[in-house]
Chain A
Amino acid sequence: MFSRVRSLKAQEARLAYLLLTPTLLVVGLIIVFPVIWNVVLSLQPIRLSDLPRISLLNFSDLTLRNYYTAITARGGRFWDVLWVTVVYATASTVLALLMGLWAAMTVREAFPGRNVVRGFMLFPYIAPVVSIAFIWKLMLDKTIGIVPLLLEKVGFPAISFLTLRSYPVEIFGFKIGIPVALMTVIFFEAWHYFPFTFLFFLARLQAIPQELYEAAAVDGASPLQRFWYITLPQLYTVAGTLFLLRFIWTFNKFEDVFLLNGGAAGTTVLAIEIYNWLFARRNVGVASALAVIMALILTGLALLYLREFARRSSEV
C-alpha cells in the first residue's frame, strides 16, 4: 500500500518535471543565463567593435577594471547618475502613490459617469509608452507645445521643459536652480504610473468594512477625521507594497526618459547610462559592470519586497 502511494507520488513528480522542463529551459536560456553571463562579461575588457572577433570563452584574464572605470570614469559621473536615479525613482514613486490615492478617493463613491472617469484614469498606464512620451514631448515643446503656450498667457517665462537643466530663481535672497528637466520627467513618470497605484488603492478602499465608518460617525468623528484615523491606516500595508514595487521598477526604467529627452539636461538615469556605455562609448565591459551593480541593488530591494510583503500578497 505504502509503496503504491509513493509510486503515485513519484509519478506525479515526474509529470510535474516534464511539464516544467520547457518553461525552465526557456527561462534559463533568456533570463537566468543572460544574468549570469552578464557577470562574466563585466569582468572582461570587451569593446563593442571587438565583439565579432574575440573569444568570449577565454576566462584567463578576468579583471575588476571595468568596475573601477564604471565608478571613477569621467570625474566620478557615476555618483551623479546614481543620485539622479534615486531622486527620480523616489520622487516619481511618491508622487504616483499620492496621485493614485487621490484618484481612488475621487471615484470611490458612485456618481454619474464614474465608470467613464475610471476608464480614462487607466489610459496613461495601458497606452504604449512610445506614443505617450511623444505626446508629452510635443505638448511641452517650446515652439508648438500647448503647455508652454498656455503658461506664457498667464505670465510664466517661456522655457523648454525637457532640455533645461536648471532654472535660476531667488528665494529669500538665496539663488537656487530648479532642475526643470528632471522635475518634468518625474512628473511624466508619476502621470504614467498613477493608474497602477490607483487600482490597488481602490480595491483596498472598497474592502474597508462600512461599519467602521458608521461607528466612527456615531462617536462624532468628522469626515476628515474618519479619513485620517480609519481610511489611511487601512492603506498603510498596500502603500508600502506599492512603494517598493514601483520603486524597483522605476529605478531601472529605460524607455520613459530615453524617449522624452534621451537623458539630456541632468536626467541621465542608470539605465540610460548603461545604454550610453554600450552604444555611445561602445564599451561592453563597463556597461555590463554597471548592469551588475544595478542588478545587485535591485536584488536587494526585491528580497526585501519578498520578505516583507509577498507573504501577505493575498490582500494586494
Chain B
Amino acid sequence: MIWSSREILERRLWWFFRVFSVLFFLLITAFPFYWMFNLSVRPYSDVLLNPSRLFPSLEHLHMAFGPIPCLWNPVPQCAKWAKNSSYLGVLVDYHFLTYIRNSLVVSSMTVLLTLLFAVPGAYAVTRMEFRFRDVMSWGILLIYMFPAIVIGIPLFVFFVRLQVLLGIPLRGNLYTVTFIYLASTLPVALYMLRSYFPSIPKDLEEAALIDGCSRLEVIWRITLPLALPAIASVALYTFMIAWNEFLFALLFLVEHQPAWTLPLGLQQLDSQEVPRTFLMAGSMLITVPVIVLFFFFERFLVQGLTAGAVKG
C-alpha cells in the first residue's frame, strides 16, 4: 500500500508523541516512589540542607541500613545510630516492629475470614437454584459500591456501646478490627467470585453428581480445586486491602497504641516533631511488601484488577 503524505506525517507525529508519553508516564509513576526511597535513606539534616539532591551517597546508604543488625543485636552505640538511620528509628523508637506484626496478624486473619464467608456464599449465589438468588446477586453489586464512612459511624457507635455493655475492651482490639475489615473485603471477594464461578464448566459438576457424589462432595472435590487460582487471587487482594486499610484502623484502633497497624502508625508519625525522613522510611516499610507481591504475581493480579478486585 502507498501511504499518503498525511498518513506519513501523522504516523511520525504519533511516534514522537508516544516516546514523549512513555517518558512522561515513567516520570510521574516511578519518580515519586524513587523519591520516597531517596528521602528515606538520607539523614534529615542532609535533606534540609540539600532538598533537591537527586541521589543519596554511599555513606548515606551505609548510615541508613548499616545499623539494621541492631534489631537482633543491640549494642550500646545503637541509640546513637538510630538518629541517623530513619529505618532503625521507626522500627525501634517508633514501634514499627509492633505495627508490622499487628498488620500481618490482622491481614492474615482477614484473609481467612473473608474466604470462609465469601466462598460458600458466592458459590450458592452463582451455582445453585433458589428463590432469592437474583436478589442476592444484585445485593452483592450494591454492597460492592457502598461507602465505608457511612458504615463506619454506626459501627463505631455500636462498639462503644457494646464495650460498655460487656465491660471488655472492643476498640483497640485486633480481633474486633479484623471483623470490621470484613466490611471492606467481603463485598470485593463476593464480587470477584461471583464473576469467576460461572466460568467453571457446569458439565463437570453434573457428571460427578450423576456418578453419585453429593453436592458438597462436588464442591469440595471439583469446584474448589478448579477455582483455586481465583481463590488465590481473592486471597492476595484481600490481604492487600487489609494491609492498606486506614479509615477503620483510625476509627477503631487509634486509642490503643499497641494495637496500631502500619497505616495508622505511619499516619501518626505525620507531625512536625518527627523528622520527615522517618515518615518516608515508614512509607517504604509499608509499600515495598505490596510492590514485591505485585511483581511476583503480576500477570495474575492484573486480571484480578479488571475483575473488580479493588474498590475505591
List chain A positions with a Cβ less than 8 A from chain B: 9, 12-13, 15-17, 19-20, 22-24, 26-27, 30-35, 37-38, 41, 46, 51-52, 56, 102-103, 105-107, 109, 111, 117, 119-132, 134-139, 141, 143-146, 149-150, 191, 196, 199-200, 203, 217-218, 220, 222-224, 245, 248-249, 252-255, 259, 271, 274-275, 278, 284, 287-288, 291-292, 294-295, 298, 302, 305-306, 310, 313, 316
Q: Are A222 and B6 in contact (CB under 8 A)?
A: yes
Q: Are B154 and A35 in contact (CB under 8 A)?
A: yes
Q: How many A-B residue pairs have CB under 8 A?
A: 274
Contacts of A131 in B (CB 8 A): 36, 266, 282-284, 286-287
Q: Are A249 and B124 in contact (CB under 8 A)?
A: no
Contacts of B175 in A (CB 8 A): none
- Option from B48, B130, B195, B280 in Cβ contact (under 8 Å) with A17: B130
A35 to B35, CA, bound (A): 41
List chain B positions with a Cβ less than 8 A from chain A: 1, 4, 6-7, 10-11, 14, 18, 21-22, 25-26, 28-30, 32-33, 35-36, 39, 47-48, 51-52, 116-118, 120-125, 128-131, 133, 136, 138-139, 141-143, 145-151, 153-158, 160-161, 164, 179-180, 182-183, 186-187, 190, 195, 215-216, 240, 243-244, 246-247, 262-263, 266-267, 270, 276, 279-280, 282-284, 286-287, 290-291, 294-295, 298, 301-302, 305-306, 310-312
Q: Are B276 and A144 in contact (CB under 8 A)?
A: yes
**Taking CB as reference atom, which chain B residue is nearest A204?**
B306
Q: Are A20 and B136 in contact (CB under 8 A)?
A: yes
Q: Are B290 and A127 in contact (CB under 8 A)?
A: yes
Q: Are A139 and B35 in contact (CB under 8 A)?
A: yes
Contacts of A46 in B (CB 8 A): 157
Q: Are A129 and B244 in contact (CB under 8 A)?
A: yes
Q: List 30 A-B contacts (CB under 8 A).
A: A9-B129, A12-B130, A17-B124, A17-B130, A20-B125, A26-B182, A30-B182, A31-B143, A32-B143, A38-B153, A52-B160, A122-B302, A123-B291, A128-B243, A128-B286, A128-B287, A135-B32, A135-B35, A135-B280, A203-B306, A217-B7, A218-B1, A222-B6, A249-B145, A252-B149, A255-B246, A284-B157, A294-B150, A302-B142, A302-B145
Contacts A35-B151, A199-B305; is A223 near B283 (CB within 8 Å)? no
**Taking CB as reference atom, which chain A residue is nearest B6?**
A222
A203 to B183, CA, bound (A): 29
Among A135, A145, A271: residue with most chain B CB under 10 A: A135
**Chain B nearest CB: distance from A247 CB in Å?**
11
**Chain A nearest CB: distance from B111 CB in Å?**
15
Q: Are A106 and B21 in contact (CB under 8 A)?
A: yes
Q: Are A12 and B215 in contact (CB under 8 A)?
A: yes
Contacts A19-B123, A51-B161; is A132 near B32 (CB within 8 Å)? yes
Q: Are A13 and B128 in contact (CB under 8 A)?
A: yes
Contacts of A17 in B (CB 8 A): 124, 130
Q: Are B47 and A144 in contact (CB under 8 A)?
A: yes
Contacts A120-B30, A135-B32; is A27 near B186 (CB within 8 Å)? yes
Q: Are B10 and A125 in contact (CB under 8 A)?
A: no
Contacts of A139 in B (CB 8 A): 32, 35
With A27-B139, A135-B36 given, name 16 new contacts (CB 8 A).
A12-B128, A23-B122, A31-B146, A31-B187, A106-B21, A106-B25, A109-B18, A120-B26, A120-B30, A122-B294, A129-B263, A130-B267, A144-B48, A220-B4, A252-B150, A271-B147
- Option from A16, A23, A27, A291 in Cβ contact (under 8 Å) with B130: A16
**Taking CB as reference atom, which chain A residue is nearest B285?**
A131
Contacts A23-B117, A130-B266, A145-B51; is A125 near B310 (CB within 8 Å)? yes
A273 to B148, CA, bound (A): 14
**Taking CB as reference atom, which chain B residue is nearest A33?**
B154
A149 to B30, CA, bound (A): 19
Contacts of B129 in A (CB 8 A): 9, 12-13, 16
Q: Are A119 and B157 in contact (CB under 8 A)?
A: no
**Taking CB as reference atom, which chain B residue is nearest A303?**
B142
Contacts of A278 in B (CB 8 A): 153, 156
Contacts of A145 in B (CB 8 A): 51
Contacts of A284 in B (CB 8 A): 153, 157
**Chain A nearest CB: distance from B43 CB in Å?**
13
**Taking CB as reference atom, which chain A residue is nearest B138?**
A306
A256 to B172, CA, bound (A): 23
**Taking CB as reference atom, which chain B residue is nearest A245?**
B145
Q: Are A127 and B280 in contact (CB under 8 A)?
A: no
Contacts A17-B130, A134-B270; is A127 near B148 (CB within 8 Å)? no
Sorted from nearest, which 7 A-B pairs have the closest CB atoms?
A23-B121, A252-B147, A131-B283, A34-B154, A16-B128, A19-B120, A13-B130
Contacts of B29 in A (CB 8 A): 120-121, 123-124
A16 to B122, CA, bound (A): 10
**Chain B nearest CB: distance from A220 CB in Å?**
7
**Taking CB as reference atom, which chain B residue is nearest A14?**
B130
A52 to B164, CA, bound (A): 6
Contacts of A294 in B (CB 8 A): 147, 149-150
Q: Are B311 and A249 in contact (CB under 8 A)?
A: yes
**Chain A nearest CB: distance from B298 CB in Å?**
6
